[in-house]
Structure 1
Amino acid sequence: MSSQRVLSGMRPTGRLHLGHYHGVLKNWVRLQHEYECFFFVADWHALTTEYENPQRIEQNVWEMVIDWLAAGVNPGSCTLFIQSRVPEHAELHLLLSMMTPLGWLERVPTYKDQQEKLKEKDLATYGFLGYPLLQSADILMYRAGLVPVGADQVAHVEITREVARRFNHLYGREPGFEEAVAAAVRKMGKKQAKVYQDNRRKYQEQGDENALETARALVMDQQNITLGDRERLLGDLEGGGKVILPEPQALLTPASKMPGLDGQKMSKSYGNFISLREEPDSVDEKIRRMPTDPARVRRTDPGNPDNCPVWQLHQIYSDEQTRQWVREGCTTAGIGCLDCKKPVVEAVQAELEPIRRRAEEHTRNPDLVRSIVADGCEEAREAARATLEEVRSVMGLNYR
């Protein structure tokens, strides 16, 4: 596992909008240069709620991937793949389901929330109940150290940690574990072996957290031991067994501050969005038609920016000087609403122009997009096979 590995996915909903860009994609673009990133299309997750209408999923997948690439997600810096093209996810999901208590799935907050929100759909299905475990399989498959999530998704990372902990407890004691640990310690060399053992003892006898961190860092720095040896030593440190499926950490991402054109959250279902490939004239028209402070009936009426959806866009796109100009001009009726909207229109157009251009290039070359995804799927499968081979082995399924 790599604490430097990040795993994140999105359901295929078709073309994306500025809310997706500010809430997820800008973060992905930054993370891909700081970590080893796996980004995937969660098409099986889409089926948990759209199993009756799967016809649009394929088109939505390609539209979404084009928007990822147009936004700056770079296949040279990360791995892009489609979940269902890596069937190992399904097998790991099945194997984890054998040892995951039913109560853990029923208490995931989004389980009942989604059933309430989507009352028109029959979500009393095995797939919908199990989708948090499928998410866990997605994460644990790549032994990801970090999972970027909003505050409302932290519970999903927590159940993944519990599943990993239970799995390691049940299956982490391989035959000859103590002998394998002793052999791994010898490979470290006398001096470093002594530091490891001293710190291990301090942690296990006195609960010294600093000693635990020192020993962990020492193990991670070892160049002449195998990945399996490293995991055995880390498991031995904490008094457990081999860490087969490491526990991921939630990497909290700031909530998207991108409001919709009516001041609510930007969403396709509200019809208040600007898509990443929106034509310039349409962007111009949508922002010009945005509602403003209802107190400004006439041009000469003063207003209050805090009551105006356009002001929320200024918080994202305008510098301090422009915001001061807007506040003063609005409260004194020194500027009209169209004057106020002009800098926002210009900033949104400037942000979307390179995205539109790149999206057009990829739309003209669908074979390249499919090739990028095919390569990513192969890379993902390679990592997935390595994990699954070990999972099968400790669960007694590695027949020879």
Structure 2
Amino acid sequence: MNRPTILTGDRTTGPLHIGHYAGSLSNRLRYQDSHEQFLLLADAQALTDNAHDPEKVRRNVMEVALDYLAVGIDPGRTTICLQSHLPALAELSMLYLNFVTVARLERNPTIKDEIRVRGFGRDIPAGFLCYPAAQAADITGFRATVVPVGEDQAPLIEQTNEIVRRINATAGHEVLPEAQAVIPKAGRLPGIDGKAKMSKSGGNAIPLSASPEEIRKAVRAMFTDPNHLRVEDPGRVEGNVVFSYLDAFDGDQEGLEDLKAWYRRGGLGDSKIKARLEGILQELIAPVRERRERLAREPGYILDVIRDGTDRARERTEATKRDVVDALGLFQL
């Protein structure tokens, strides 16, 4: 069956958390049946702002792969591969940098935001600035036509397609397909402290390996409505972290709407909504945690999954690189 090709993945900077599950992992489980899916362990990209700590990047390759398998990613239906062991991607990145200007890279809204957040100023690692070209290499290397991204990442797909159009125009025919950004309906989950970005290093995330007590503690610490001081007070749902998580994970959306109405008019305490959320998260994470603990005792199997997937991905990306080199008319030996 001719299925569309989808590329997705994660930087190997730490184990995954429930924000990843809501935003991407649950969708990847569905894509296994409808798409030819490649899942990239993006260790080379992780180095663009972690070159001072390569051990962190190396160590988390296994951790992220373990999370993929624990949530139910099937290596027989999804190719899990390691970015740094796909040399064609680096070669394509170098070629593509000739088809984009520094000014255009600096204007990319995603890159501008990330530079500001990280406080680089003008001390921007060259690898970080050039990331849009590297992502274009990742996407086109697999000939992906579908790329799930958050709304804030959509400009990177636009820039990929700009590079694709320039390559095709130079070659005089279509060498590479353009990709479509697919933005999940569920927005990014906030951290349990109400901050926009959830991260394990920031201490405001719930990892997929969380114990029952860690889940309980995290839910109890969640930011709600600071003005909802008494049970009888009307409460605000918008910006309330507990309701954001319920929106993402509660299977009874009709019942949830009733709960929101009750909270808004007053008479519903934060402890009640937190208890509902905790029960949902305990049920969601328990089987993932158990599979993860079991798989962690089989590191040889995890390595085999990565090696086999990387071998398959290498064939695909090398073929694409050859097509691009031929189309551009570069000298062949």
The two structures have a TM-score, normalised by structure 1, of 0.75
Residue 54 of structure 1, CA deviation: 1.6
1:353 corresponds to which residue?
A: 286
- Give the Cα separation in 2 of the matches to 1:328 and 1:383: 54
1:282 corresponds to which residue?
A: 214
2:22 corresponds to which residue?
A: 22
- SS in structure 1 of the partner of residue 4 of structure 2: strand
The Cα offsets for residues 231-288 of structure 1, whole Å up to 9 and x where unpaired, read as xxxxxxxxxx2x1122222222224353332333351254222111100112112213
Change (3 A) 1:369 1:171: same
Residue 72 of structure 1, CA deviation: 1.8
- Give the Cα separation in 1 of the matches to 2:330 and 2:260: 67
- Give the Cα separation in 1 of the matches to 2:295 and 2:241: 33
2:84 corresponds to which residue?
A: 84
Q: Which runs of 5+ in 2 are unaligned?
A: none
Residue 398 of structure 1, CA deviation: 5.4
The Cα offsets for residues 25-51 of structure 1, whole Å up to 9 and x where unpaired, read as 111111121110111011111111112
- Give the Cα separation in 2 of the matches to 1:355 and 1:370: 19
101-110 vs 380-389, which deviates more?
A: 101-110
1:198 corresponds to which residue?
A: none
AA matched with 1:63: E
2:196 corresponds to which residue?
A: 265
2:258 corresponds to which residue?
A: 324
- Give the Cα separation in 1 of the matches to 2:30 and 2:165: 30
Contact 2:16 2:64 in 1 (8 A): yes
Percent sequence identity is 35
Contact 2:32 2:78 in 1 (8 A): yes
Contact 1:148 1:250 in 2 (8 A): yes
152-161 vs 265-274, which deviates more?
A: 265-274
- SS in structure 1 of the partner of residue 20 of structure 2: helix
Residue 324 of structure 1, CA deviation: 2.3
Q: Which runs of 5+ in 1 are unaligned?
A: 173-240
Q: Map residues 22-171 of structure 1 onto 2, 5 A cutoff.
A: 22-119=22-119, 123-171=123-171
Change (3 A) 1:357 1:106: same
- 1:378 partnered with 2:308: no
323-332 vs 285-294, which deviates more?
A: 323-332
- Give the Cα separation in 2 of the matches to 1:336 and 1:344: 13
Contact 1:305 1:327 in 2 (8 A): no
The Cα offsets for residues 156-207 of structure 1, whole Å up to 9 and x where unpaired, read as 11111111111122124xxxxxxxxxxxxxxxxxxxxxxxxxxxxxxxxxxx
Residue 323 of structure 1, CA deviation: 4.8
2:271 corresponds to which residue?
A: 338
- Give the Cα separation in 2 of the matches to 1:18 and 1:169: 42
Contact 1:330 1:336 in 2 (8 A): no
Contact 1:154 1:250 in 2 (8 A): yes
Contact 2:186 2:248 in 1 (8 A): no
1:228 corresponds to which residue?
A: none
- SS in structure 2 of the partner of residue 49 of structure 1: coil
Report the count of equivalent residues. 328
Contact 1:389 1:398 in 2 (8 A): no
AA matched with 2:49: T
The Cα offsets for residues 91-150 of structure 1, whole Å up to 9 and x where unpaired, read as 111122233333332321223222222115874333222111011011111111111122
- Give the Cα separation in 1 of the matches to 2:128 and 2:223: 39
Contact 2:43 2:84 in 1 (8 A): yes
Contact 1:19 1:256 in 2 (8 A): no
AA matched with 1:40: L
1:306 corresponds to which residue?
A: 237
